[in-house]
Amino acid sequence: MSEDEIIDLIFNQGPKQTGFSKKDNNEILNKLNEIERLLQYMIKTQDGKDGRSTYSRNGLCEQILQSTYVIIDEYYSGIGKNYFILDLEDNRKFVTFKDTMDLLNMHFSLAKDEQDLENKLPKRLFPLFRFMRRSGLIYFDYEKKRYFIVDYK
């Protein structure tokens, strides 16, 4: 397949030859989309020289600021002491700021019950709370009437 034919396929103009069916065109476009996603992921997560993660400390910090927490799939040794890290299954790590976890734990101790916490929790902490509850990283102790973080020190 020539370069012109591939460009025609990408822009949905169809091939110049009539030997391809619409199904073949869709298959090729799907494969190209998959390849593009894989390349973007590899560019984001790997350095071409040694295969280590390219997350810089500032990059990790910016990602956490945008989404409250980050799940890191690969081995990463450059995480500083200002981050809260919980090991998940499959060598993944849950990473957020220690201050964020302290703030969340403070809200846990101030809330009177589950509903009170959900009503008074700041919007910035709510996605973190939902993720941790769904993932089993926090639990509600009905005797003490408060949430606790698993492995929180």
Cβ neighbours for 116, distance < 8 A, ≥ 6 positions apart: none
Task: Mark whether 101 and 61 lie in a shared domain.
Answer: yes
**Does residue 51 fall inside a structural domain?**
no
Distance CA 1, CA 94 (A): 44
In a domain, 50, yes or no: no
Judge whether residue 145 has pLDDT over 60: yes
Q: Do 88 and 39 lie in a common domain?
A: no
Residues 97 and 138 in one domain: yes
Assess whether 38 and 61 both reside in one domain.
Answer: no
Q: Are residues 30 and 70 in the same domain?
A: no
Q: Is the pLDDT of residue 144 over 50?
A: yes
Task: Look up residue 49 and give its DSSP letter.
Answer: T
User: Based on the domain organization, do 102 and 125 belong to the same domain?
Assistant: yes
pLDDT of residue 148: 86
Count of domains forming the chain: 2
Percent of the chain with pLDDT over 70: 76
pLDDT in tens, 31-41: 887 887 777 77
pLDDT at residue 76 tops 70: no
Q: Which of 1-5, 90-94, 136-140 has the lowest mean pLDDT?
A: 1-5
* 87 vs 85: CA distance, rounded Å: 7
Same domain, 67 and 39: no
Give the CB-side neighbour count of residue 153, counting CA atoms within 13 A.
4
Are residue 139 and residue 84 in the same domain, yes or no? yes
- The alpha carbon torsion through 66, 67, 71, 72 (nearest 10 deg) reads 0
For residues 63 and 115, membership in a common domain is answered with yes
Q: Where does residue 30 rank: exposed (0-12), middle (13-18), buried (19+ CB within 10 A)?
A: exposed
Domain extent at residue 140? 57-149
Clarify whether residues 102 and 74 are in a common domain. yes
